Amino acid sequence: MIAVTGAASGIGAAVASALRTAGHRVIGVDLRDAEVCADLSTSDGRRAAIGGVLDRAPELDGLVLCAGVGPHVPDPMQIIEVNYRGAVEVLDGLFPALRGAAVAVSSSASTMVRWADNPISRGTEAAALADAGEFAGHLAYSWSKNAVTVAVRQRVAEWGAAGVRLNTVAPGAVDTPLLQAGLASRYGDAIRSYQPPIARHGTPEEVAALIVYLLGPHAGYIHGAQFAIDGGSDALMRPTEF
Ligand code: NAD
């Protein structure tokens, strides 16, 4: 049994579909159209999500954290609550039940800030966002994804000792409803003007295939890693940093 958050749309829906095609049973978690309907932007919702999954499966073969919102949503704190706390609290809440592996969907945006400069590292994100003006959504998104990647890396010893692997994937622009909403927002021109070396958007199925690989037995020695799946953007922008 594999739990997938954000299973109702985009990358999460592609992951759930690929896993079911491969013969796995999937517990989808989402706001709606899922086995467990819960709002990961609140502490109560996160507790309900964890409880709902454990009610259906006291032991899990895998966990995939896809639920997220983009930089365009009106309340930037919502971005941090869903993308960061909605990932990390579910990760920690389901860790005792996990027997296999977990993958969190971070983003290429995770590398746009250093952890030492990330207000989430000091718990000052609300104050920092109050001063951020028109870039608040963009900043909150980068901070939330940087914090998810750091949280995964910080868990590598404890999870490895328990025999549970944990990795992140960092997509660039992937053609989903989240990207379409970004294209329709004030960030649209910036998204359109950037072209990755592979000059197209990724597909949810391409990201799902990487996630399914990372969950599976052929990835048995991959732990604590972040995989860019971005058409070459990371190498283009940071050729000497890896
Ligand atoms: P999507 O909008 O298609 O899917 C996101 C899912 O998360 C939706 O089903 C939505 O209902 C769910 N969700 C949102 N808020 C929630 C909440 N409060 N509680 C429970 N579920 C909630 O978007 P997507 O592009 O498939 O995004 C999946 C993940 O990939 C996100 O974490 C996103 O940040 C990340 N990502 C996407 C892109 C991209 O270009 N599409 C790029 C990098 C990273």
Neighbouring C-alpha atoms within 13 Å toward the C-beta of 132: 20
Looking at residue 191, what is its pLDDT? 87
The predicted pLDDT at position 75 comes to 96
> Look-up: residue for tokens 């499966």?
57
Per-10-residue mean pLDDT of the chain, 242 residues long, equals: 98 98 98 98 98 98 98 96 98 97 98 98 96 92 98 98 98 97 89 93 98 98 98 96 90
Q: Is residue 175 a part of any domain in this protein?
A: yes
Angle, CA 174 vertex, CA 19 and CA 134 arms, to 5°: 130
Query: Of all protein residues, whose CA lies closest to atom 31 belonging to ligand 1?
Result: 68
- Report the atom number in ligand 1 closest to the C-alpha of 173: 40
Q: Is 237 inside a domain boundary?
A: no
Q: Is residue 180 part of a domain?
A: yes
H-helix or E-strand spanning residue 168 = strand 165-171
pLDDT value of residue 190? 85
Q: Ligand 1 pocket test: which of 66, 138, 146, 206 has the largest number of ligand atoms within 8 Å of its C-beta?
A: 66
Determine the atom of ligand 1 nearest the C-alpha atom of 108. 43
What pLDDT is recorded for position 193? 87
Sign of the dihedral through C-alpha 204, 3, 138, 229? negative
User: Is ipTM strictly over 0.95?
Assistant: yes
Ligand 1 mean position to 236 CA, how many Å? 25
Q: Is residue 210 part of a domain?
A: yes
pLDDT attached to residue 116: 98
Nearest to 86 by CA among 50, 127, 36: 50
Q: Ligand 1: residues within 6 Å at CB?
A: 6, 8-12, 30-31, 39-41, 66-69, 82-83, 105, 107, 171, 173-174, 176-179
| Best mutation site among 69, 201, 210 for ligand 1 pocket (most ligand atoms within 8 Å of CB) | 69
Which residue CA neighbors atom 21 of ligand 1 most closely?
30
Distance 12 CA to ligand 1 centre (A): 7
**141 in active site:** yes
The pLDDT, as a whole number, for residue 149 is 98
Is 78 within the bounds of a domain? Answer: yes
pLDDT attached to residue 49: 98
Ligand 1, residue 177: give the atom nearest the CA: 3
Range of the domain at 68: 2-231
CATH code, domain carrying 43: 3.40.50.720
CA torsion 213-216-222-226 (nearest 10°) is: 40
* Overall number of domains in the chain: 1
Give the residue from 135, 144, 132 showing the smallest Cα distance to 186: 135
Shortest-distance atom of ligand 1 to CA 182: 40
Q: Is 242 a member of any domain?
A: no
* Residues 99, 105, 111: CA angle, nearest 5 degrees: 125
Per the CB < 8 A criterion, the answer to whether 67 and 3 are in contact is no
Per-residue pLDDT, 205 = 98
